[in-house]
Structures are given as C-alpha cells and as structure tokens.
C-alpha cells in the first residue's frame, strides 16, 4: 500500500468559475509540494476547464451535494494529509501550512480552521448565517461536552486514518457537522487554527440556503445525537413522556380520591400508554447505549490495527 500524495488539497466545486483559478494559484504557492484536486459537481459554467488550465487534477461527481463530493474524494485519493477548502476564495491560503502541520506531525487527526474567533462575524454579510453558526456550535459543544470553536467551517485538514475511517452519510453542506461529531465521539485528536475569513467577492453567490440547509444541519445534529448518545437522547424523550403521563394522571387521581370513581377512562388509558411508551423508550436507550459502546470498542480495535499495519509497512514515521 502506497500513498499517492504527501498533501492533497481537496476543492469541491459547483459554479465557482469566478474564483477557482485564484484559489488554485494561491494554494499552489502556499503548498508547492501538494497535489490539488478539483471535483466538479455538475457546474453549469466553465469551472472544470478553468481548474484544469490552472493546474489542478479535475474529476467529476454527478450526485449533487457537497457530502457526495467529499465521499468520492475520500474514497479516491490516498494521501498522508488532506486539506479541504472551498472554491469560493473565502479561506486564505496563508494559513495552509499551519493547517497541515499538526497532521504531518501526527498530533491531530483533524484540524479545524476557526473562522468564528477572528473575522467571520464582520466579513459575513448574512446575519442568519451568524446566528446559525453560533447555535450549532453551542448545541454540539453542550451535547458532546467539548469546545470546538467552529463546527461548520469548510477549511479543514485530515489524516489518512481519519479519511479512511470516516463514514460519509450526509449528502449536502451538513457534512462538516457530521465530521466534527464523528471526531468528538471517537475521541480523535482535534486542533483549532484561527484563520482570517473573507466574504465572497462581489458577483460570487453562496450555494447555501439559510433556511433549508439550516434545517438539514439541525436534523443532522438530532440524528447523530440519537445515534452517538442514545441513552441520553431516549432518557430525555422518556422523561418528557412520563411528565405528560403524570400531568394527565394527577387530576384523575385527585377526582378518584374525592369521589371514589373514575370518570375519564380515555384520559386514564392514554396516560397509561404514554407512560408505558416512556418506559419502553428508556429501556431501548439502555440497549442502544450498550451497542454504541461496543461499536466504540470495535472502532478502537480496528483503528489500532490500522495504525499497526501502517507502521509495519513503513507508511508512518512514529518510530523516528
């Protein structure tokens, strides 16, 4: 097994003809040893032609959506370090060397380009995006007890181990949220690098839809919260249902103590079923939590084996 590249710069693109040549030139200058890959995602302009002219390796992904593009990139490309950027010239190449350094030094499996601690809120002209970024960051850091500073940044560096073990399930822009939660759940080393963010140049349009893509991100957080922390998720749902059952049952109990009769049997039956559902969901959470813990153990074993094989085959320099 041989790695094709030391550093692979990954640029998913959809209609970025205005900026793609500059992005490629900037990152070729910042990382001259890197191989730059542009994956065109059904662009209707001449993004692919301009990227090839600028010296990038151009490939195509016909399933629409950033998640689908990232899936193809991760499957196709073998490199010691991957640097993912957007093709819209919002992420300065000046930070590229700082981004890849922790990966090449084996200090981290993922490096996050942190926009939110620098210029993002001043440069970004879409106020709802600012609110969305703060909301998503707060939710994930509370649910997963961490302090990742920028959850939805598209500027990231990855190790070979991360790329080949990460299961890409999202199809669209929620992919960045999925990457972050996967790394947190699997206890992979994450480093933050504060970067300068600049808004898109005039005439370049964002592909993000504030409402629909925001809803997709929140749905992804909910799905991953359920999958990665099932006991907590189902305990909260169970608690809610039990509270509803108690609220419905208490007036019936008070009436029974006063009159000796039960006049609202449908409500009593409904409260009983709601309470029973809450108990069943709690038990389901316990079972799924055991399965999740076993899955984490399996991942650790496979991850250790993977690194041992790499070491034996001379693909890492941990012994230096």
Predicted pLDDT of residue 147: 79
Question: What are the extents of the domains in the chain?
Answer: 5-227, 230-312
Cα 248 from Cα 40, distance rounded (Å): 56
Predicted pLDDT of residue 256: 85
Predicted pLDDT of residue 73: 95
Predicted pLDDT of residue 320: 43
Predicted pLDDT of residue 208: 61
Query: Mean pLDDT, consecutive 10-residue segments, the chain of 320 residues?
Result: 79 93 96 96 93 95 93 94 94 94 95 82 56 77 82 92 91 87 91 84 60 76 88 95 95 88 87 95 94 87 76 54
Pairing of β 5-13 and β 79-84: parallel
Domain spanning 5-227: which superfamily? Answer: Spore Coat Polysaccharide Biosynthesis Protein SpsA; Chain A (3.90.550.10)
CA angle 101, 190, 111 (to 5 degrees): 40
């Amino acid at each position: 097994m041989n790695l094709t590249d030391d550093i692979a710069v990954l640029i998913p693109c959809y209609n970025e003809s205005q900026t793609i040549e500059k992005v490629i030139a900037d990152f070729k200058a910042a990382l001259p040893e890197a191989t730059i890959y542009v994956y065109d995602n059904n662009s209707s302009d001449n993004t692919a032609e301009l990227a090839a002219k600028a010296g990038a390796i151009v490939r195509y992904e016909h399933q629409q959506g950033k998640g689908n593009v990232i899936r193809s990139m991760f499957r196709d490309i073998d490199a010691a370090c991957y640097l993912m950027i957007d093709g819209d010239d919002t992420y300065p190449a000046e930070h590229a060397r700082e981004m890849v350094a922790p990966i090449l030094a084996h200090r981290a499996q993922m490096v996050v380009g942190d926009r939110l601690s620098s210029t993002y809120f001043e440069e970004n002209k879409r106020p709802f995006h600012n609110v969305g970024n703060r909301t998503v960051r707060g939710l994930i850091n509370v649910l997963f007890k961490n302090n990742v500073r920028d959850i939805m940044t598209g500027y990231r560096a990855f190790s070979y181990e991360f790329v080949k073990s990460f299961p890409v399930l999202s199809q669209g822009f929620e992919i960045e949220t999925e990457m972050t939660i996967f790394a947190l759940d699997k206890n992979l080393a994450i480093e933050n690098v504060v970067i300068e963010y600049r808004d898109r140049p005039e005439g370049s349009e964002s592909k993000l839809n504030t409402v629909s893509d925001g809803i997709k991100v929140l749905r992804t957080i909910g799905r991953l919260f359920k999958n990665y922390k099932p006991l907590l998720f189902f305990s909260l749902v169970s608690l809610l249902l039990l509270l509803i059952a108690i609220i419905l049952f208490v007036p019936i109990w008070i009436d029974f103590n006063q009159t000796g009769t039960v006049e609202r049997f449908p409500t009593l039956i409904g409260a009983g079923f709601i309470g029973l559902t809450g108990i069943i969901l709690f038990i389901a959470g316990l079972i799924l939590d055991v399965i999740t813990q076993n899955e984490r153990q399996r991942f650790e074993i496979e991850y250790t084996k993977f690194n041992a094989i790499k070491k034996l085959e001379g693909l890492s320099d941990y012994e230096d």
